[in-house]
A and B are shown apart, each in its own frame.
Chain A
Amino acid sequence: MGENAKWWIIVILSSLWFMVLTHPVLAEVTAQTSGAESNAHAWWFWPVVLFLVTLVMGILAVLGGVGGGVLFVPIISGFFPFHLDFVRGAGLLVALAGALAAGPGLLRLNLASLRLAIPVALIASTCAIIGAMIGLALPTNIIQTALGATIIGICILMLTAKKSEFPDVPQSDMLSSALRIYGVYREESTGQVINWKIHRTPLGLTLFIAIGIMAGMFGLGAGWANVPALNLVMGVPLKISVATSKFLLSITDTSAAWIYLNKGCVIPMIVVPSLVGIMLGSFIGVPLLKVAKPSVVRWIVICMLAFAGIKALGKGLGF
């Protein structure tokens, strides 16, 4: 298959996905999320549509360099007749499954640092529990509005945040020295062995309070915030930041997922097709990475998120 053909597949899949989301039936059901409306189809209709949409979502998430959870919650809650409580529960489990699948490999390759993750995860997972409790206690319209605002904020972050492959860390701070957070890895593209250490640890750990709360409150996963906090604030090399962030999700999302699970916010008919769709999409997306134009895909993802964010904001504010 030629490069152009593969690129066309991505464009066609994106278009099909957009058509499904903007289909009048879906729009009508979304507008009137009453039981009678959503029950107008055979039982397998929504799981199949969910599977197809999350399959494309999984492909675009890999190509756009974002986690599945951050796409899942705003898009599914905006365009499907499912209550936000169940979408957040499913979103956390989708993000969790992706992180669990990637975690062992990243740890073995020594790209994810357990030593860095343990203190960060302790703070983030505790705060994710608090976030989940706040999220389940607040009225849905407030959560929906806050979700919309957060998604628009994530779009701005994706547009403006810079990344530093090898941040300059002149000296470790006292806390990271005491915790002995440093390491070494081989940069495969150059063969260079990189020694890394971190700084501004207290500030970085403080940021994970907010990141954990947001992850739990909205069921978003938190890779979009983990990577900038680790890379730009704490000075962790980009590769280690991305890998450790992915691994961290397996801990942060676990804590919040338990709160949603115990509260009854997990419906297998939503969770399993989504989980399979996203995972399969990720498998398909990885080989497409070689031929896809990252900047174009990134723009598609940002536009989709912005659209879903505005929709969530509108729903929350009652427009």
Chain B
Amino acid sequence: MTDKSQTSLEAGPEQVLYAKVLRKGMYLGLVILFITFAIYALGIIKPYIPKDKISIYCAMNVHDYLYYAKIKDGWSWLGMLRYSEFINFIGIVILAGVTIICYIAIIPVLLKNNDKLYATMALLEVVILGLAASGILAVGH
């Protein structure tokens, strides 16, 4: 089956759907990120690391930063959302996760168009991005 975007000037249905989901996720992520950063910068909620000490940690490598600041890696920030720097991760995670949602959204459209090859590739991409997001693929210095 030929995709509409390939024979007409208009984008195909899966491409339009992808764009819609991407647009909503991007705006949501950016708005949340800006609001949470304002909360952090204005001191509305107490940070875990005092703001005047953060530049010390920025100069360390990530291993030392996590060790000296007593922060765990992966998704442990979810347990630290009472501190203002960690609420910023909500927006960051939405920005990093919206692509996975976009791919999940287009799989039914691709299957409906009998485009099994592209549906498989989209599913594989979801698995790969999901693996990266899960924190299973951990490495370090």
* A136/B139 in contact, CB under 8 A: yes
In this complex, how many residues of chain B approach chain A with their Cβ under 8 Å: the count is 74
* B122/A276 in contact, CB under 8 A: no
Confirm or deny: B98 has a beta carbon within 8 angstroms of a beta carbon on chain A: yes
Confirm or deny: B44 has a beta carbon within 8 angstroms of a beta carbon on chain A: no
Residue of B nearest to A269 (CB): B54
* A35/B95 in contact, CB under 8 A: no
Question: Once the chains are docked, how many angstroms separate the CA of A86 from the CA of B96?
Answer: 16
Contact A184-B59, Cβ < 8 Å, known A97-B95, A263-B138, A275-B33: no
Confirm or deny: A53 has a beta carbon within 8 angstroms of a beta carbon on chain B: no
Across chains A and B, the number of contacting residue pairs, with CB separation under 8 Å, is 215
Interface bits B57-80 vs A (CB < 8 Å: 1, else 0): 111111001100001011100000
Question: Once the chains are docked, how many angstroms separate the CA of A83 from the CA of B62?
Answer: 8
In this complex, how many residues of chain A approach chain B with their Cβ under 8 Å: the count is 74
Question: Once the chains are docked, how many angstroms separate the CA of A216 from the CA of B26?
Answer: 21
Question: Once the chains are docked, how many angstroms separate the CA of A118 from the CA of B9?
Answer: 19
Interface SS, A side: helix
Contact A42-B18, Cβ < 8 Å, known A133-B139, A139-B141, A262-B75: no
How far does the Cβ of B6 sit from chain A's closest Cβ, in whole Å? 5
* A121/B6 in contact, CB under 8 A: no
* A263/B140 in contact, CB under 8 A: yes
Chain A residues with CB under 8 Å of B9's CB are: 110, 184-186, 193
Q: Which of A19-27, A231-239, A247-255, A290-298 contacts B (4 or more CB under 8 A)?
A: A247-255
Question: Once the chains are docked, how many angstroms separate the CA of A104 from the CA of B18?
Answer: 8
Interface bits B1-31 vs A (CB < 8 Å: 1, else 0): 0110111111110111011101101100110
Chain A residues with CB under 8 Å of B53's CB are: 39
Chain A residues with CB under 8 Å of B52's CB are: 39, 42-43
* B66/A264 in contact, CB under 8 A: yes
Confirm or deny: A100 has a beta carbon within 8 angstroms of a beta carbon on chain B: yes
Confirm or deny: A307 has a beta carbon within 8 angstroms of a beta carbon on chain B: no
* B96/A254 in contact, CB under 8 A: yes
Confirm or deny: A9 has a beta carbon within 8 angstroms of a beta carbon on chain B: no
* A85/B55 in contact, CB under 8 A: no
Question: Once the chains are docked, how many angstroms separate the CA of A41 from the CA of B52?
Answer: 8
How far does the Cβ of A270 sit from chain B's closest Cβ, in whole Å? 6
* B40/A267 in contact, CB under 8 A: no
* A180/B6 in contact, CB under 8 A: yes
The 4 closest A-B pairs by CB, nearest first: A35-B56, A268-B88, A104-B23, A43-B51
Q: Chain A: residues with CB nearer than 8 A to chain B? A: 33-36, 38-39, 41-44, 46-47, 81-83, 85-86, 93, 96-97, 100-101, 103-105, 107-110, 113-115, 118-119, 121-122, 125-126, 129, 133, 136-137, 139-140, 179-180, 182-186, 193, 250-251, 254-259, 261-272, 275-276
